[in-house]
Chains A and B, each alone.
Chain A
Amino acid sequence: MPDFKLQLKTFVEMLRNIEDEFKLHSLTPNEQAVFFTIMKSDEVCNISNIVDESGLSRSTVYKILKKLEDNNLVEALQSKSDKRESIVSLKV
């Protein structure tokens, strides 16, 4: 007779494996806020938008973007219209 609680536990583990595969488990709440701000924007997003929408300081946003970039989740590009500005888009 299978153990019902054990089956539920394996189901939760299966869901956690999906998280692991998409590397979402390693994000802190601030990192999530930045990640979802970029995700909500239509195609690309500039850093000022992220600062405004996430409510985080510019330096925190820069640190988080560096980490997300290292994790291969986002990529930063130079804006074509204003070369002083960076734009960010999702890589996943």
Chain B
Amino acid sequence: MRLASDFKYFLEVSITTFVSFGLLYVIWIFFIISSETATGFNGSLMYVPHAARVITICYFGLWAVPALFAAHVFCSVYIGGTYGLNQLVIFDVLGTSFLSAVCVLLALYAMAGLGFKIRTLPFYEFTKDSIYLDLRNHKHIILVTIFSAAVHSLSLYVYNYLRAISSNPEMFIRFFVGDILGTLVTIFTLSFMLFAFFRER
């Protein structure tokens, strides 16, 4: 019985995560990449799919990681590939997708290590003098966004450097700014849409 409810929850979380990441990736491709005349690199200055990573990990925790990884691989290969992005060998697609899928989780562990108390974080025992971090509060989510953008951009920069894909430090800044901006734009747009549709008339 417990296994069945676990599996149902895992399916619900996975479908939600996969669809939300895919949807944001498609929106990003159409509104940013396809409007550019250059090779599309400036699109990473507002990378809206990072919002899906932050929100799903904050709300669903570890359960969202497999779907995030799958969505990242799928979008990179089938959607990004169509537009000439992510021309990487499959090993590097899997490597960068893994880093992207776990970057928010790594950021949460880094924040926990710095003294933030995160009740829902598994495999971590917080101390009494920690600062309470509520992953349902939008201000705290913005803080997680900044930390995760730093972890994501740094880990991808190191990976690209070690694999001799790119050694341009400008990429680190672009990814860092792009992840933060993209997440903020997504959250505020969602909030605005909610206001437009469900406001009392």
Contacts and interface: CB of A to CB of B under 8 A. Distances in A.
A24 B187 CA distance: 15
A92 interface: no
How many chain A residues sit at the interface, stated as a range, is 10 to 19
Given A12-B194, A14-B141, A15-B187, 12 more contacts: A4-B12, A4-B13, A4-B16, A7-B60, A10-B59, A15-B190, A16-B191, A17-B138, A18-B187, A19-B192, A21-B138, A25-B195
Contact of B136 (A14, A19, A21): A14
Q: Which of A13, A15, A25 has the most CB of B within 10 A?
A: A15
Contacts of A1: 2, 5-6, 9
Interface in A45-90: none
A10 B59 CA distance: 9
A25 B199 CA distance: 7
Chain A interface helix/strand/loop/mixed:
helix
Chain B interface helix/strand/loop/mixed:
helix
B201 interface: yes
Q: Which of B6, B59, B141 has the most CB of A within 10 A?
A: B59
Interface in A1-33: 1-2, 4, 7, 10-19, 21, 24-25, 29
B195 A19 contact: yes
Contacts of B191: 15-16, 18-19
B59 A11 contact: yes
Interface string B137-156: 11001000000000000000
B141 A2 contact: no
